[in-house]
Amino acid sequence: MLTRIWRGRTSAANADAYGDFLRRMAYPDYGGVAGNRGWLLLRREIDDTVEFAFVSFWDSIEALHAYAGDDAAQPHHYPEDLAALLPPLERADNYEILDVKLAL
C-alpha cells in the first residue's frame, strides 16, 4: 500500500474557498479511481498563508499511475490550483506504507 502527499499554499484570504474547491473537485476525482483507499485533507496557517496537504492512500503503484499518470510524483493540477496556489509545487511525495494504526 502507498501514500501520496501533495502540498500547496494559498493566501489566508483565499483559504476557505480553496479548501471548499478541494473538497468539491479532488474528493470525487481521487475516489473515482480504482485502488484509491481514501484520503486526509490537512490545513495549517503559516504566517499570512495557509498550507493544505492532501494525503491519499493507494493499493498499488499501478492504481496511483491510473490517477497521476506515468510519473506518479507529478501533481495533478486543476486550472483553479494554478490560479490559487503560491506557487504550485512541482512534485508530490509517494511513500510505501509499512505500518498503520488509527483510532479516530
> CB atoms < 10 A from the CB of 37, how many?
15
Q: What pLDDT shows up at residue 77?
A: 79
Q: Is the pLDDT of residue 8 over 80?
A: yes
Mean pLDDT over 6-19 rounds to 93
Structurally, the chain folds into a number of domains equal to: 1
- CATH no. for residue 63? 3.30.70.100
How far CA 4 is from CA of 61, 81, 83, 89, 94, in Å, comes to 10, 17, 23, 14, 4
Q: What pLDDT shows up at residue 85?
A: 84
Q: What is the pLDDT of residues 36-71, one digit of tens each?
A: 999 999 999 999 999 999 999 999 999 999 988 899
Kindly state whether residue 86 falls inside one of the protein's structural domains.
yes
| Rounded Cα gap, residues 17 and 12, in angstroms | 10
| Rounded Cα gap, residues 31 and 29, in angstroms | 6
Kindly state whether residue 20 falls inside one of the protein's structural domains.
yes
Mean pLDDT over 84-98 rounds to 87
Higher pLDDT, 77 or 6: 6
Query: Which range has the worst mean pLDDT, 21-25, 32-36, 65-69, 82-86?
Result: 82-86
Kindly state whether residue 102 falls inside one of the protein's structural domains.
no
Which pTM value belongs to this model?
Answer: 0.87
Kindly state whether residue 44 falls inside one of the protein's structural domains.
yes
Kindly state whether residue 74 falls inside one of the protein's structural domains.
yes
Kindly state whether residue 19 falls inside one of the protein's structural domains.
yes
Domain interval for residue 30:
2-96
Mean pLDDT of the chain: 90
Kindly state whether residue 87 falls inside one of the protein's structural domains.
yes
Kindly state whether residue 8 falls inside one of the protein's structural domains.
yes
